[in-house]
Structure 1
């Protein structure tokens, strides 16, 4: 079990510990935040949705310049600083008493989160050998999912108590978890900062890298699976199927445990850009099948039939999610110049912020309003995006073979252990 979750000792394990530390707080925050701001603070769901949409929009833009700062200052120091900033932003939710303050706190929180994600990816790229990055990233994902599950259980306790003090304790825990994560990050070896861009070259080169932009766009489409489990599938189960409402929790547990147990195994199949492209293409096909079975779940005349269809669909969905993640990590790392990993990972990671921003409105309209045809249309989008990843990656490889963007030599790997 530990080999499926914990990465090898040294910098990878310290990275996992840093992300596990703040995953506890994040898991509790995700469970409690919406109810706290609507029921305790008194904001409307529309106000909460607007603030988060605006926040993730700004975060998707902030990731690139903050990732560039990680390249120029050194990824370890930038990641630790951004972890502290994210902790301060999470702590600011303790003082939200109005819509204006919530908008400000949400924007600060999402921008810091996106910057922290870019810096952490740059740190991983600087400390882990190229051939092992995807596998280590899979270990980190399994670790984070385990932490989120434990944090969600703690958040459930706050929901049970349903008091202002209990919710505020969750926000305080989230803030402290990021501060603790910053201390853990400082145990890692330093990654040398990259030199300034030569005269005549753009500082934010990723903004002119058209093949990488296309790959990031295709990845963003694939990431539309993110709002499914947290928002769309629960609404679908309750409004469109005969399955009992507790099926929502069962599918969430299934997804979380599957990623914890099998993400590393799935990622080991990805060993280069060729296998990465194939993994994303196959993920698109699996996600199409998942969407088709979800559509069929509405046709069941009994709770058992609907439940069985939902179980099959959820298994296919999490398999596609793991296959897509494994291929996307390899592509995102391998096609980024080593001395610009921060800005490139900030750009690639913007797909997550955009999916969180646009996904809820798009998918609820597509699926809850349109029903089964909406599921099939979404599955077709997954299939097209997955199939297009291979040609896009080959285009990017050709531009790099021609010398654009400028190739970079990786710095020597640190020899010391930080475990």
Structure 2
């Protein structure tokens, strides 16, 4: 890694760490603040969050396209600052209409920021180093989330409005600091010329990449597992104590912090990336099968042990999927269009946040072990399909747009 790349990677790592500390505290306390302190019903809060991530999903490609036109650094700085403002305004958004407006602005800025930061990484880091640098960032994200969750836990223990508002202020300041750090990065090389009539939706004409985006969205269905489905499953269907949900989450966080960079080393190009995603799908099928067994194990101690095994398989699948998908999203995007293509590829994140909670709770809590197996087979099928679709994408790039 060159000295310039090392400096860029260090600045990006600091940016992601600061963001993640604020977000960790935010995620732990946000729902309770608006339902218990502000007084929104759980139904209205859930509706607002679904609409916010829906707005983020719709904005991902246009904001990625904007990043290509004005430069990803400028876009990332603006979107980080916009997120800071949205979070800072949340304490005064006490009614549902005001909450809905502000939280939708938050969802849009967050979704656009993901695309802009990914595009900035591709602009500033040479292709051979991108996945390894992204893995380093992911390890910092998990470390920051762990630190932030401790702050959030303190606010929950105090359970007062000033404590919750302090957490929101911390998250707003974190995004402000992130905007400042991003502004200090170089802008990188100039982007490829963008045709005057080109629109954001032209990326949809790249059918192989669109199919990969869809497959990635299916793989991302693991996202609601740790925060929602596994805790509910442990309480409703197993003999394990409730605190095992925290153990599984801690196991996941520490594993990503320590091992994500090592896992990413196996990914060197789009072919190895596709094979890694395929492996991730099969490992996730194994994890789901083991989770399914926890509903019928005869003792709390044995159930806890099986949950640990399932959690280890799940985090391995997560790390494999992440490393492979980063390389695919980087390596198959045309030069100068990384903002647009990252916006499309990462639209699976808000989509998983919209559809995942309701779909997975209904599937797994409603059908038990069968539901776990259906989820595992679905994710494994998406992983298996990634290999031939990647070959299709590599052979059929958009006409007139060079691939990197």
TM-score range, shorter chain: over 0.9
**How far apart are residue 194 of structure 1 and its match?**
2.7
In the alignment, which residue of structure 1 is the partner of 2:378?
381
Cα distance between partner residues in 2 of 1:272 and 1:22: 29
Report the Cα distance in structure 1 between the residues aligned to 2:261 and 2:191, rounded to whole angstroms: 30
Q: How big is the shift at 1:160? A: 0.5
Q: How many residues align?
A: 402
Moved more, 58-67 or 203-212: 203-212
Q: Indicate the residue corresponding to 1:162 in structure 2.
A: 159
Contact 1:68–1:204 (CA under 8 A) maintained in structure 2: no
Q: Output one character per residue of 1:347-386: Cα deviation in whole Å (capped at 9) or x when no partner.
A: 1110011001100000000001111100000000011000
Q: 2:294 is matched with which residue? A: 297
Q: Distance in 2 between matches of 1:298 and 1:366?
A: 14
Alignment of 1:71-110 (within 5 A): 71-110=68-107
Match of 2:271 among 268, 271, 274: 274
Match of 2:365 among 364, 368, 378: 368
CA RMSD of aligned residues (A): 1.5
State the shift of 1:198 in Å.
3.0
- The CA distance in 2 between the partners of 1:201 and 1:92, in whole Å, is 35
Distance 1:90 1:334 in 2: 34
Map 1:23-34 to 2 at 5 A: 23-34=20-31
**1:148 and 2:145 equivalent?**
yes
> Are 2:402 and 1:407 aligned?
yes
- Tell me, in whole angstroms, the C-alpha distance in 2 between the residues paired with 1:58 and 1:189: 30
Pair 1:70 & 2:67 matched:
yes
Structure 1 unmatched runs, 5+:
1-6, 411-419
When normalised by structure 2's length, the TM-score is 0.97
Partner residue of 1:325?
A: 322
Matched residues in 1 for 2:198 and 2:93: separation? 43
Does residue 315 (structure 1) correspond to residue 309 (structure 2)? The answer is no
Equivalent residue for 1:123, pick from 120, 123, 128: 120
The equivalent residue for 1:205 is 202
Separation (CA, whole Å) in 1 of partners of 2:92 and 2:210: 38
Distance 1:199 1:30 in 2: 41
Provide the C-alpha distance between the structure 2 equivalents of 1:189 and 1:354, rounded to a whole number of angstroms: 32
SS at match of 1:270: coil
1:223 aligns with 2:216: no
How far the C-alpha of 1:203 sits from its partner, in A, is: 5.2
Question: Does structure 2 retain, via aligned residues, the 8 Å contact 1:118–1:349?
Answer: yes
Alignment correspondent of 1:285: 282
Distance in 2 between residues matched to 1:217 and 1:273, nearest whole Å: 17
Distance 1:339 1:217 in 2: 22
Residue 340 of structure 2 aligns with which residue? Answer: 343
Q: 2:172 aligns with which of 175, 190, 193?
A: 175
Task: Say which is worse superposed, 18-27 or 257-266, in terms of deviation.
Answer: 18-27
- Alpha-carbon contact 2:192-2:335 (below 8 Å) kept: no
Structure-1 separation of matches of 2:400 and 2:295: 49
TM, length-normalised to structure 1:
0.93
- Whole-angstrom CA distance in 2 between matches of 1:13 and 1:120: 14
Q: Distance in 1 between matches of 2:298 and 2:245?
A: 19
2:63–2:343 CA contact under 8 A, matched in 1: yes
CA shift for structure 1 position 309: 1.0
Q: Give the whole-Å Cα distance in 1 for the aligned partners of 2:11 and 2:105.
A: 26
CA distance in 2, matches of 1:137, 1:276: 14
Greater CA deviation, 316-325 or 8-17?
8-17
Partner of 1:298, secondary structure, is coil
CA contact (8 A) 2:81 2:175 kept: yes
* Shift, 1:35, TM fit: 0.5
Q: Does 1:40 align with 2:37?
A: yes
Change over 3 Å in CA distance of 1:196–1:8 after alignment to 2 = closer
Rounded Cα–Cα distance in structure 2 between residues aligned with 1:384 and 1:160: 43
Structure 1 position 101, deviation (Å): 1.2
Partner of 2:108: 111
Distance change (3 Å), C-alpha of 1:230 and 1:405: farther
Q: Distance in 2 between matches of 1:334 and 1:206?
A: 15
